[in-house]
Structure 1
Amino acid sequence: MSADGFWSIGELAARAGVTVKTVRFYSDRGLLPAAGRSSGGHRRYGPGALDRLRLIRSLRSLDLPVPDVERVLDREDDLEDLVAERLSDLGTRLAALRWREAALRSLQGCGPEERADRLRLIGAVAMPPDTTALARFWRRWLGPARLPAPLLAAVVDAAVPEPPAEPNPSRVLAFARLHALVSGDCRAGAAPHQPAAHRPDAGVRPAVLYAGLREAYDLAAPELRAGRPPVAGEALDGFVSAYARAGGVRDIPAFRRLLGRRLAADPRIDRYWDLVAELTAPDSGPAEPTPGAAHDWLLAALAGTSGEGPGPGGANG
């Protein structure tokens, strides 16, 4: 520092360990204003310039764009918000990289035909995955039911799986196939119409039905986790009761036999739930039962107690 207490641009650059070009760039952008000019017109920097320059370099090392650095220098309170924004952005980019890596690994070791098919499936999916198409599928499926907004949101949330944070090739392919399934043409059988046993025009009160089915699936879930065979009990009673109350009838043996036949004849989306199970399967330990698996378990329990019905692997809603 010279006798007057100011540095030249070269002196500041040397003390900060940067090039003169770097100091000039930040000065020209207004991030590092000069305290004045020498008699020869050269920039002069005061004592605080070194700390400010170091702060600028620290912020830039975190990959903050220059406009964001300017925000922090003008208002230090903005740093907290900027850090949160950058962490969120970084998390998204890391997730995308993990999914891309798993997608690339899924293409290794397969033949040309299979590779072409996988490329087609993967190419239609965003990285990281977006579940908008899945939610749209279920809202279309549930559309005729006209459920109250909170119940509709709860049913869709339960039916739409969260893409795993740690994908592997099989999970990438499961999601890609799931996306292709829900994006298909309903007329081609990819998304069958809502089951007759669920439709208002069949005399069913959908809000009562879906609320009851959610409770029955929750009751069946521990049975599935434990690997127990389908049996009569509280879960099955709740399942049948949901259909009975929704249709305004009593739960009697004749109704159970009729319900088994009706559900056996309804459209199926087994493929959807199979892919969800594959997508969400943990690396170790028991898998979390899907609503489709709970539905099948309850149908099998109904068949076993009524003497009719679809039996194991039956229709699911």
Structure 2
Amino acid sequence: MSTSPEQFWSIGEIAEHADTTVKTVRFYSDRGLLPESARSSGGHRRYGPQALERLRLIRSLRALGLPLTEVRRVVEDTDAAGHVLQDAVASRLRELGTELKAMRWRQAALRLVQECPPAQRPDRLRLLGALNTPPSTAPLARFWRAWLPPRMPARATTAFLEAAVPQPPDEPHPTQVLAFARLHAMTTAPCPGGRQPRPEVHQVAGARGTAVLYTGLAEAYQLAGPQLRRAQDPHPGEALDAYVAAYASAYRSRDSRQFRRSLAARLATEPRLDRYWELTAAVLTPPAGPPEPTPGSTDDWLRTALDQDNAETA
């Protein structure tokens, strides 16, 4: 075909050159995405080579799933660097990532219903029906925000939530879907008598002391995490020292043998959220993988190490 600037095609001809339909060309023309180059003596649309190139670009962008609003921005972009196209593609990739994650969660949820005994299906359907896909962690975050002291610094609150709220896996196994659904139900259910109170051992430190405490506990958990992954038995060491130091700093006290014994006694009587941490571990751990440490399981390990340390020095 000729690429002379004087060459013009009818709507049918440009559709044939672009390997598309007249309906498609008219659709983009009516929306201003494909301007006509001229009109025939009879008032019919005529298109030149630039229109053909734009039509091919439009079809390529649409084949990638870009919406018409983004297509318009790209074809009207005069920046040679193509920043608009780059941004549009990046945005579409993010959208596809969310869509793929949602599809994987739906697939795992369907398998969960398919593979369970018939008597369990109503309960599982009820749990799954309360979840978005992909699921949101907002209800879990609200649960912990109500549990934390109201005047705790924002940075400390954010760090705590990052450790306490498990992120849904991108490619979940049905058991992980079930665990997350149960976590969602646990954290959104009305609590008789109100929310479970924070442990007294945390409350006595006050808002400032609690922030200091949680910062120190996060450090201790990081030190103990590799040992839990290697399935090492609890034992005194650097992680335990950081654990005790967190409480000592929050109470404006110092680490001593007497302090360690009194701390162990107080921790032994505090309320616990064992079920939450069990479900969190199930969300984070694939069925064939080793258990992933959680703040709950790591705290248990450190408490046992503290009891062992106290027993050895009694």
Q: TM-score, normalised by structure 2?
A: 0.90
For residues 202 and 152 of structure 1, what CA distance do their matches in structure 2 show?
Answer: 14
- Runs of 4+ with >6 A deviation: 201-204
Q: Which residue of 2 aligns with 1:156?
A: 161
Matching residue's letter, 1:261? A
Q: How many residues align?
A: 306
- The answer for the alignment partner of 2:20 in structure 1 is 18
Cα distance change of structure 1 residues 153 and 203 upon mapping to structure 2, 3 Å threshold: closer
Distance 2:32 2:112 in 1: 49
Separation (CA, whole Å) in 2 of partners of 1:74 and 1:261: 71
The CA distance in 2 between the partners of 1:269 and 1:56, in whole Å, is 55
Partner of residue 51, structure 2: 49
Aligned pair partner of 2:149 in 120, 143, 156? 143
1:102 paired to 2:108 = yes
> Counterpart amino acid of 1:57?
R
Closer/same/farther in 2, CA of residues 45 and 112 from structure 1, 3 Å limit = same
Are the equivalent residues in 1 in contact too, given 2:199–2:271 (CA < 8 A)? Answer: yes
Distance 1:245 1:36, change over 3 A: closer
Q: Partners in 2 of 1:18 and 1:219 — Cα distance?
A: 62
Say yes or no: does 1:84 pair with 2:112: no
Cα 1:21–1:151 shift into 2, 3 Å: same
2:128 paired with 1:122: yes
> Residue 240 of structure 2 contacts residue 306 of structure 2 at CA under 8 Å; is this kept in 1?
yes
Contact preservation (8 Å) 1:12, 1:45: yes
Structure 2 alignment gaps of length 5 or more:
none
Pairing 1:216–2:220 present: yes
Opposite residue 211 of structure 1, the aligned amino acid is T
Shift of 1:111: 3.1
Looking at structure 1, the residues matched to 136 and 212 of structure 2 have their Cα atoms a distance apart, in angstroms, of 31
Structure 1 runs not aligned, ≥5 long: 309-317
Task: Confirm or deny: 8 A CA contact 1:197 1:204 kept in the other structure.
Answer: no
The question of whether the paired residues in 1 share the 8 Å contact of 2:205 and 2:251 is answered with: no
Contact 1:257–1:307 under 8 Å retained in 2: no
CA distance in 1, matches of 2:255, 2:83: 63
Q: Deviations over 1:75-98 (max 9, x none)?
A: 154211111111111111110000
- Could you tell me which residue of structure 2 aligns to residue 205 of structure 1? 209
Report the Cα distance in structure 2 between the residues aligned to 1:16 and 1:139, rounded to whole angstroms.
Answer: 57
* 146-155 vs 114-123, which moves further: 146-155
Q: CA deviation at 1:125?
A: 1.1
Partner residue, 2:253: 249
Distance 1:186 1:96 in 2: 30
Residues 33-48 of structure 1 mapped to structure 2, 5 A cutoff: 33-48=35-50
Q: Report sequence identity in percent.
A: 58
> Partner of 1:169 in structure 2?
174
Q: TM-score, normalised by structure 1?
A: 0.89
Report the Cα distance in structure 1 between the residues aligned to 2:238 and 2:83, rounded to whole angstroms: 56
Instruction: Please report how far the alpha carbon of residue 307 of structure 1 lies from its aligned counterpart in structure 2 after TM superposition.
Output: 4.1
